[in-house]
Amino acid sequence: MSDSGAELEKWPSRVAAARRSGGIPETKELYGGWCRGGYEIKLVDVPAWRLAALEPVPGPSRLTPPHSAVRAMQKEQQPLGLTKPVQGRGLRLVQALITATENAGHSSAAGQTGSVPPSHRRRRASPHLTITAQGRPVGFLVFQEQDRTEHVATDKEVAEAKKNSWIRIPRFDYTRPNGSLRPQRRPAAPGERMGRHPNRPLEDQLAEIAQEVTLRGEAAERRLLDEIEAARQKRIRWEAAMKEARVQYAEAYRVRHFEPQGAAWRHTTRLAEYVSAVRTRVETMPQARPGPKPKHGSTGRQHAWSI
């Protein structure tokens, strides 16, 4: 969508309303996100794993014995930042999630378990619980929803919003916590949501959350294997390059050092051949014969020789 101004700002809430409406097919998912040209809306296929039938994960009726992470939560004055009426249920659901994921071979550890950040800070908050699958940690926050009503904007808020573009009028007024618990994972990939129906209660999402942890671990393992293979291929290319470099260096060394020596050797060989040829020529030349002796009494000093 390439609308501008106030009309463009309405599209995220419209996408959220469409998701809540129940009119989207089970095999499709509505995606909305900001892009360079405005706001992009897509109806995409739901991955096959999201459509698989899962075995429900039952919550325990009692914490006997509690997991070490749950014991750390029990020591807090207000575990998970939950109100008294839902603390016990919240801890039992965390215990059920830990049991399901550890049965799949994953490990769990408690984080900051005594509070819950406000909604606008949850994406960067420390998790209550971290589950590690194949070396990939997935953090979870458990928070208690609040009753809310539609916010009626006051004249002052409207005037301030018109005056300052960064001011947003809230859509809802939140009153008191209710009994509904929701999970939030960290990190969350762009456009992804926890579970197939994120607005359902936490107890109805345990099987899906456990499945997603396993899938994330498998994806992390595949990435690790891909990185190992990429490193191996890089090593092979490096060794081949080094071998080629050694060949080129040896050739350059030969050119730089051996060719002058070869030229000297060839010069010496030609000189030796020349000397040998001269010797042979001299040896094959006819011998010189002396001329007649001068007569006695001759006053001349000249000698005549004939060859």
Q: Global pTM?
A: 0.61
- Tokens 């039992």 locate to 92
For tokens 């129940």, the residue is 22
pLDDT at residue 251 in the model: 87
pLDDT digits 0-9 by tens, 134-175: 888 988 888 888 777 888 888 888 888 888 888 888 887 877
pLDDT > 50? residue 307 = no
- Alpha-carbon distance of 96 to 209, in angstroms, equals 11
Closest to 178 (Cα-Cα) out of 149, 148, 204, 155: 148
Asked whether 110 and 73 are in contact (CB, 8 A), the reply is yes
Interval 169-217: pLDDT, tens? 888 787 777 777 878 776 654 434 444 455 677 888 889 889 989 988 8
d(CA 259, CA 267): 12
pLDDT at 186: 65
> Tokens 């107890």 belong to which residue?
203
208-227 per-position pLDDT tens digit: 889 989 988 888 899 999 99
Distance in angstroms (rounded) separating the CA atoms of residues 166 and 108 = 41
pLDDT digits (tens, 9 = 90+) for 68-108: 999 999 999 889 888 888 899 999 999 999 999 999 999 99
Residue 230 has pLDDT above 60, yes or no: yes
Q: What pLDDT does residue 306 have? A: 43
- Give the whole-angstrom CA distance, residue 159 versus residue 3: 23
